[in-house]
Amino acid sequence: MQITTFPHPAEEAIELKLTGRFDAHESEIFRIALTDALGNGNHHIRVNLANVEFVDSTALAELVRGMKRCREARGDLTLVSPSDPVRVILELTKLDAAFSIV
């Protein structure tokens, strides 16, 4: 999985654009990217999932953990444009109700 980080132009947020399969093998690089973003004082994080074809349970847990970290820092974590399979997985796991999804 590849992660590209850039400031979101319209909001005071950092966007992490993920590409590929987000599974247990990739959770650490996501955690590092999120830690870097938070460490730079950005507490509003957008995670773009448009180019992610699959998320496993470890990845979902990582996203929940990330959301908690952002909220503890008085920010938030928003999921952006999840691909169709990721959207379905979020629905089946009922996590679509837990996240802010745009």
In the bound state with another protein, the residue whose beta carbon lies nearer, of 12 and 28, is 28
Site for another protein in 38-77 (CB under 8 A): 53-58, 60
Single-letter amino acid code for the residue at 14: I
* Tokens matching residue 8: 């979101």
Query: Please, which residues have CB within 8 angstroms of residue 32's CB and are 6 or more apart in sequence?
Result: none
Site for another protein contains 23 (CB under 8 A): yes
Site for another protein contains 92 (CB under 8 A): yes
Residue numbers at the binding site for another protein (CB under 8 A): 21, 23-25, 53-58, 60, 84-85, 87-89, 91-93
